[in-house]
A and B are shown apart, each in its own frame.
Chain A
């Protein structure tokens, strides 16, 4: 049973079924997260003095790092980022501050990376600047990130709940009022209903709709127009006008529209945010996975020092099973190093004195002494991480359908409103105010603002039930315009673990089963990935003195006979007559007993059974399929031939992959990438849409737009199909919202729309949009 990419033993088939069900719906990470939360008192001290604690060098060093030029790199967690426009705002505001070299915000992780000169700017000043902008800065740390997310979640839920209850209450009064409009109603009851609606609606606006006002104001102050502005204007004006009408006892009230609008918009955002947050992995800084303490030779003594204190030329000790903490050149010892993270190659690399080993790779066999090649920040891993975080790999922005429509809409609405105002002011000044107001309320972009989030969260919900988590904001839309589908090899099209493909028995008299049992016995003592291929074979227990010889293979003794399993040279030391490996593109391992050659064992990375079907289906849909692998052996092209993929590039470094995708995009292609490894991180980020397969590395998951939870690649095709349906729905939604506005605004401008028609029209158009979006979830549920 595999849980989060780790094999876990299960006691019985029943437990295994439950665990599979939980894992299949993405709940596994859920359970892990729950225990990490702790209560924290509310802090409302926003004075600069509060941030002064971060100037303490000890504390600052936990989230700041200095480089050779004396600049500081700080990672700051920023609360309150709601959209891409916020990241723009923060970056602009900080870069214009003296002393700041560079500021970059990562929207998905709410993380701000600043490079600044500590001579010119104190950390506390930077924090107060962010605070003034209306965001909540914190040092970036795992637990604070989660704590903040939790607090925002519960705040959102409160707002949503209050808006929902308020909507029911105001809606109840509104039905009475509208019914009264039609059949006539005693003025005192009408005034009573208006007077009780007023406090409820006002409370909902003040409590629940506050985020729209703060966001609109925040952007307005720096001269940016966002969708929140017309939303805030509509809510604010409608409430004020209704309150005025209530006080005066004349005019029209729109309390129900205000509250309903607030509720629907909050609901849309809440669901969308929650779906994306759930898919947020815990990855934030790969360095945290590296060992913090490093054994370094100081004088004649080995002592543990913090990883940050390691300098170039320090002598390190890396024991077997440990992760290499820093890029280093081996001075003594030999071993094999598993570096699939960088290269995508499934077999470890044998290393000895003089070879370079990289931070983040795993030492499998021997003890190594090595000389550090530089600090943590110069390591290849840090380079990869910086590459992922740099704007170079930023997705090209495909303009969103809704945004394109929204900007025209806002301009048109303002134009119509001002024309109406002028016209009515000339004709009948007394009525001008009420008519303009009804134009603004009726044209309130409720359905338009809901069109996209409602459809997106519907699609994300449907996908999640099918084992696909959606992280990327814009990815479903990009997917529909995709032209290229690019696969990584190891771990994506293949399972990423070796399996026995061929056994070629050399000694007459022994069968395949005997050979496998000998192999299993020897390999049970090995940490090499080859051992995994024999994990399910029954070991025969008569063997003694089993040992692992780094870079060569395994050796064991059975009675007087010596068994060896490993590369050809290693076996030929005992059995000089060992024949050459069969001519087939597999990883061949030799097995001998004393001087007798026993067998050649051919191992291969197992191809996922559904890979061929998925590739051919994608081609039928008109996508260009490519294979892009870091593996430089012949298996890449072989696999491409097997799966009938026309174009295969092998031996690609992460930078090569990135360049490949960027050049495709430069030629106008819209690229979807499927990958799993750390080396796929940058491309997954850069691609217009990207998938991380089940068991992918955290770095890959953190960058991908879609995360597959099950091991089945068919989910990719399913996502494509759903994305297309989602786009159709968004178009229908926007179409409907526009038709409604086009019909209603002229009527309102002529002063012919009573409030009950306005309320019904607006609610119906919102409900239609939401209902239409819900078709995405329902259709997919019945299909399963």
Chain B
């Protein structure tokens, strides 16, 4: 049980990192258009892309 003293702070660090990442993603505009993402695969040829959204087409 002593390991809790190490593991819980580590969990907190992860939590802080996750929050930082989320805030960064929001401020970089990745969540500006939540509905768009699902449709983008259908529309990438004939629709202009928003210039300020960083390209995040991950190979998934």
Looking at the assembled complex, report how far the CB atom of B26 sits from the nearest CB atom of chain A, in whole angstroms.
5
Residue numbers in B under 8 Å from A162 (CB-CB)? 19, 22-23
> Which residue of B12, B27, B32, B47 is within 8 Å of A196 (Cβ)?
B12
Contacts of B35 in A (CB 8 A): 27, 30, 278
Would you list which residues of chain A between 17 and 58 have a CB under 8 Å from chain B? 18, 21-22, 25, 27, 30-31, 34-35, 37, 39
Cα–Cα distance between A166 and B12 once the two chains are bound (Å): 10
B43 touches A196 (CB 8 A): no
Question: 4 additional contacts, CB 8 Å, given A22-B43, A34-B33, A189-B4?
Answer: A153-B32, A154-B26, A189-B1, A196-B8
User: Does chain B have a CB within 8 A of A192?
Assistant: yes
The docked-state distance in angstroms from the alpha carbon of A154 to that of B27 is 7
Tell whether, in the assembled complex, residue B15 and residue A15 are in contact, meaning their CB atoms are under 8 Å apart.
no
- CB <8 Å contact, A35 and B50: yes
> Is B5 within 8 A of A192, CB to CB?
yes
Q: B1 touching A27 by the CB < 8 A rule? A: no
Question: In the docked arrangement, what's the CA distance between A186 and B4, Å?
Answer: 12
- From A22, A168, A193, A196, B39 is in contact (CB under 8 Å) with A22
Docked CA distance A153–B52 (Å): 17
- 23 interchain pairs (CB within 8 A)? A15-B46, A22-B39, A22-B43, A30-B33, A30-B35, A30-B36, A34-B32, A34-B33, A34-B36, A34-B48, A35-B50, A37-B52, A39-B52, A154-B31, A154-B32, A158-B22, A158-B23, A162-B22, A165-B19, A165-B22, A169-B11, A192-B4, A278-B35
Chain A residue numbers with a CB within 8 Å of B42 are 18, 21-22
Which residues on B sit within 8 Å (CB–CB) of A31?
43, 47-48
Assess whether B4 is in contact with A157, with CB atoms less than 8 Å apart.
no
Which chain A residues in 126-185 approach chain B with CB under 8 Å? Answer: 150, 153-154, 157-158, 161-162, 165-166, 168-169, 172-173
Which residues from 5 to 19 on chain B have a C-beta closer than 8 Å to any C-beta of chain A? Answer: 5, 8-9, 11-12, 15, 18-19
The interface on chain B, measured as residues whose beta carbon lies within 8 A of the other chain's beta carbons, has a size of 28
Chain B residues within 8 Å of A172, by CB:
11
What's the least CB distance linking A155 to chain B, in Å? Answer: 9
Which residues of chain B have a CB within 8 Å of any CB of chain A? Answer: 1, 4-5, 8-9, 11-12, 15, 18-19, 22-23, 26-27, 31-33, 35-36, 39, 42-43, 46-48, 50-52
Question: Which single residue of chain A is at the shortest CB-CB distance from B5?
Answer: A192
- Chain A: interface secondary structure? helix
Name which residue of chain A comes closest to B23, CB basis: A158
Interface of chain B, main secondary structure:
helix
Measured between alpha carbons, how far is A228 from B31 in the docked complex, in Å? Answer: 27
Q: CB-CB < 8 A to A22: which residues of B?
A: 39, 42-43
Chain A to chain B: the 4 pairs with minimum beta-carbon distance, closest first: A34-B50, A161-B22, A169-B15, A157-B26
B52 touching A165 by the CB < 8 A rule? no
Nearest CB to that of B39 among chain A residues? A27
Cβ-defined contact, A165 with B32, below 8 A: no
B8 → chain A closest CB, angstroms: 5
Task: Kindly state the separation between the CA atoms of A34 and B52 in the bound complex, as whole angstroms.
Answer: 10
- Residues of chain A within 8 A (CB-CB) of B46 are 15, 18
Q: B46 to nearest A CB, angstroms?
A: 7
| Contact partner, B36, options A27, A39, A154, A200, Cβ 8 Å | A27
Chain A neighbourhood of B9, CB < 8 A: 196
Give the residues in chain A near B27, CB-CB below 8 Å: 154
A37→B26 CA distance, assembly (Å)? 15
Instruction: Write the chain B residue with the least CB distance to A39.
Output: B52
For the complex formed, measure the closest distance between the CB of B6 and the CB atoms of chain A, giving whole angstroms. Answer: 11
Contact residues in B for A37 (Cβ distance below 8 Å): 32, 50, 52
B44 smallest CB distance to A (angstroms): 11
Give every chain B residue within 8 A of A278 (Cβ-Cβ): 35
Cβ contact within 8 Å between A165 and B18:
yes
Whether B23 pairs with A161 at a CB distance below 8 angstroms is: yes
How far is the CB of A171 from the nearest CB of chain B, in Å?
A: 12
Chain A neighbourhood of B39, CB < 8 A: 22, 25, 27
Chain A residues near B50 (CB, 8 Å)?
34-35, 37
Separation of A736 and B39 alpha carbons in the complex (Å): 38
Cβ distance B16 to chain A, nearest Cβ, rounded Å: 9
Given contacts A18-B42, A186-B1, contact A150 B32 (CB under 8 A): yes
Within 398-425 of A, Cβ neighbours of B (below 8 Å) are at none
Shortest C-beta distance, B32 to chain A (Å), equals 7
- C-alpha spacing A172/B15, complex, angstroms: 12
List, in ascending order, chain B residues with CB within 8 A of A150's CB: 32
**Contact status of A35 and B22, CB under 8 A, knowing A22-B42, A165-B15, A196-B12:** no
For A34, list chain B residues within 8 Å (CB): 32-33, 36, 48, 50
- Are B19 and A161 within 8 A (Cβ)? yes
A192 CA to B2 CA, complexed, in Å: 11
Question: Which residues of chain A have C-beta atoms less than 8 A from B47's C-beta?
Answer: 31
Which residues does chain A contribute within 8 Å of B23, judged by CB atoms? 158, 161-162
Which residues does chain A contribute within 8 Å of B1, judged by CB atoms?
Answer: 186, 189
How far is it, in angstroms, between the C-alpha of A94 and the C-alpha of B5 when the chains are bound? 56
| CB <8 Å contact, A158 and B12 | no
A127 to B5 Cα, complex, angstroms:
53
A34→B27 CA distance, assembly (Å) = 16
